[in-house]
Amino acid sequence: MIRNRENVKVLLWNESFSELYTTDDNVEFRLNKVCVSAFNHELCHLCINQVFGGVFPDLYIRMPYELKEFLPRDCVQHISNCIEHKLFYNLYLEIGGMKDRFIVDYELVKGNNFHKKVTKLNLNNLHLYLGNLYSIIGDCNDRIDYKRVLTDYRKLNPKIFDSCNLLLEEIKSLGINEPAEEFIITDEGIIINKTIGSLSESFWTVVFDEFNN
């Protein structure tokens, strides 16, 4: 599964979270504790990276330049992370990951009550809307009921809300068993998946059009 990588390292670090760091030649599993579930989680992220090239590159590169002032890179990384969680959650369980250790805040209700703090969606709070919404629709804990909360999120902007859900569901429908066949390599050497790139472009078009009228 780890293709075209010369060095693979597993490191313990002092952060409150674990992460996967990759370059063209290296893979680092940065774990905040010795935990099989944490390792399996990052291994699944690597699987997505190998099959799709990752969700983030496509989503970030396709974002209109005009939106980048309002949507920081960290926000798009968070969205991508939530989508990937939905993609590989079943695989994570299949390889022995424990539900309550899937993410550090697995048992917590997501969203930070954002829907109660705002009455209108605008460019200045768009990053909070998208970040919190994807935390909710990307939550794999099926014991938490978000139905009423999601109704409030949709009222803030039905078009963007529906587009967020559509992006997640369409990427999920691609599955993770078969590698994508069509890739684009940018001048910077970034691997772009044509299918996810097309879905990302459609998503950003809806978001951009809502604030460009």
Q: Is the pLDDT of residue 24 over 90?
A: no
CA dist 75 and 85 (Å) reads 15
What pLDDT is attached to residue 33?
A: 55
The amino acid present at 143, given as its one-letter code, is R
Both tokens assigned to 206: 């809806």
Average of per-residue pLDDT values in the chain: 81
Question: What H or E segment, with its residue span, contains residue 110?
Answer: none
Question: Mean pLDDT, to the nearest integer, of 27-52?
Answer: 69
The amino acid present at 111, given as its one-letter code, is G
Q: What percent of the chain has pLDDT over 90?
A: 47
Please give the residue that has the higher pLDDT: either 193 or 2.
193
The amino acid present at 164, given as its one-letter code, is C
Q: What's CA 130's distance to the chain center, in Å? A: 11
pLDDT grade, residue 101 (50/70/90)? confident
Both tokens assigned to 19: 């992460």
CA dist 8 and 27 (Å) reads 5
pLDDT grade, residue 150 (50/70/90)? very high
Q: What percent of the chain has pLDDT over 70?
A: 72
Please name which of 120, 32, 46 lies closest in space to residue 87, comparing C-alpha atoms.
Answer: 46
Between CA 32 and CA 42, with CA 37 as vertex, the angle to 5 degrees is 70
| Domain range annotation of the chain | 7-210
Residue 191 DSSP symbol = E
Helix 126-137, helix 158-172: angle, nearest 10: 40
Beta bridge partners of 191: 185
What pLDDT is attached to residue 120?
A: 93
For the four alpha carbons of 174, 134, 61 and 53, in that order, the dihedral sign comes to negative
Per-residue pLDDT reduced to its tens digit, 159-196: 999 999 999 999 888 776 555 555 555 555 555 677 88
Dihedral pair phi/psi, residue 156, rounded to 5°: -65, -35
Highest mean pLDDT among 6-10, 57-61, 69-73: 69-73
pLDDT grade, residue 3 (50/70/90)? very low
